[in-house]
Structure 1
């Protein structure tokens, strides 16, 4: 009885450890791993095993910028409760689809996997594992084009996307801020702000050309209005080329200056 009481407050209770096959992933790809559940000092009933795919997003609280957790996806790994005996080990493999528009792991952007056990009348054990989100082929094509023009990534933040720009996508989006790196645009603009919105077949590139420095997140602010300095380039991912994007972005910048 005493052991059961201790386990209910987390002492000698079941533990969880998620082991990823590879911590690297891409938007639109998959993340594979195995959840290891080890029993504690007494038998316990595990109602659910949850996998949370989390990231950080920036927003304001009392007019001050802060970062909070956003759950991109929540997956239940078991359909029915199960018992885990003392020191017993169970292994549950999983595959999670990485949603398009998951923030890339650059600058301030961080994502991780959180695993939780739902145990009735007890402290729920959990485990966190960092992941590295790398650009998929379509995204890398855009990033290569911007690099080729002569821009350097300065910072990146993830914010809530205005509802009219979601179209079934995630409600968050990552803004990439670039500064000119000794190019012909260096004396004409301060920064280039880019948001990539992708689904299975298409990729939209939202671009704002800034001729004067202003606060972070201005592209998101402008998306809520009708600012003409924010432009949208739309592509089919099946015929995306760096040369085409480079030409389109250069032409857009020149028209905006």
Structure 2
């Protein structure tokens, strides 16, 4: 979706900008391409720079509850330093690389409710205007899709996905937020956990997979979360038995309930070491501790935050695969509207955590 706006800093008669992204979803760490189309105004102007900002709708927890805000997580200068004549049409092609940790917004072509956008900033005559906004669609990496597919085959169903402000300790996280994909438990685990949350932290060499089990509380012990971390590689995805691999991960995670009972505390840095899983297998690196910060971000109360129903919240998929669960309750047009409405109204909440390309 494209929002064409007059360059507000210059008033009526200024140049306009229209950014068009190449069709199709982009992968994390992949190339985002397109063109910035400019139309000259009533007079000649010098275009000082054209900058693209990657934006995300992110949830944050604080003492007063929970709020949402827009976060700029990367920025690229793609052009500038030229004169745009009155009425002139000028196009600037661009090709930039997304951060490896860019959240995925769809699975099997169905939206997950994650709101990402690409905003174009135009600097003219010393004034800047954030004049164009486009929805960014990101599909999963092969390993991410394989892991989610395996979870679906094991009986887990998609519930919701969101972005949480904060950092996961013990990981190589780069962005100021992380994505959580919430899954309803498979029938065989329904009596032990309320849900499983999956977080992917990709990098050029591979990917960290953080699994969180929200544990049911017993009669004498309150519920708490257990967190485990695994690492996988990008190569050889098609030849790997992900069903067996992920099943082992889940079993290892569930075992923490018996091992730690009511003594574990999610968000306070306890280490949950499960030793090595799948010795000699490059896809099954050691399981190690991970915890989310306790400074108003993440889940610092030790009981875990559960997002309420919203964009992308759907019924559990059952054993037919996660794709089934993504279909219900999601209308693509609503996501498009959400991009413009949210980012236009929350500019004051942005954080600049990206580097200029």
* TM superposition score category, shorter chain reference: 0.7 to 0.9
Pairing of 1:229-240 with structure 2 (within 5 A): 229-240=226-237
Deviation per CA, 1:1-43, whole angstroms, max 9, x where unpaired?
xxxxx98542111000011111511112111101001101111
1:113 to 118, 129, 143: 118
2:256 is aligned to: 256
| SS, match of residue 100 in structure 2 | coil
User: Unaligned regions of 5+ residues in structure 2, if any?
Assistant: 1-6, 106-110, 218-223, 258-357
CA shift at 1:253, angstroms?
Answer: 4.0
2:196 corresponds, among 192, 196, 212, to 192
Alpha-carbon deviations, 1:17-76, whole Å to 9, x = none? 011111511112111101001101111111110011111111135623122112221111
TM-score using structure 2 length: 0.61
Q: Equivalent residue for 2:13?
A: 12
Please report how far the alpha carbon of residue 186 of structure 1 lies from its aligned counterpart in structure 2 after TM superposition: 2.0
What whole-Å deviation, never above 9, does each CA across 1:92-148 have from its counterpart, x for those lacking one? 000121111211115441111111111125562510010211111111111111111
The CA deviation at 1:237 is 2.3
Q: Name the Cα RMSD after superposition.
A: 2.4
- Give the Cα–Cα distance (whole angstroms) in 2 for the partners of residues 43 and 36 of structure 1: 16
Structure with bigger strand share is 1
Whether the 8 Å CA contact 1:56–1:111 is kept in 2: the answer is yes
Give the superposition deviation at 1:249: 2.3
**Could you tell me which residue of structure 2 aligns to residue 70 of structure 1?**
71
Question: Any conservation in 1 of the 2:153–2:243 contact (CA below 8 Å)?
Answer: no
Inter-partner Cα distance in structure 1 for 2:198 and 2:28: 17
Give the distance between the partners of 2:195 and 2:248, measured in 1 at CA. Answer: 17
1:29 aligns with 2:46: no
The number of aligned residues is: 237
User: Would you say the 8 A contact 1:203–1:237 is kept in 2?
Assistant: yes
Residue number in structure 2 paired with 1:218:
none
TM-score by length of 1: 0.83
Question: Matches of 2:205 and 2:244 in 1, distance apart?
Answer: 17
Shift of 1:161: 3.6
Structure 1 residue 162 displacement after superposition: 2.2
- Equivalent-residue separation in structure 2 for 1:24 and 1:65 (angstroms): 30
Structure 1 residues 100 and 39, CA gap change in structure 2 (3 angstroms) = same
* Alignment partner of 1:136 is 2:145: no
SS in 2 for 1:41: coil
1:178 alignment partner in structure 2:
183
The counterpart of 1:206, out of the listed 206, 210, 222, is: 210
Equivalent residue number for residue 216 of structure 1: none
List gaps (5 residues or longer) in structure 1.
1-5, 214-221
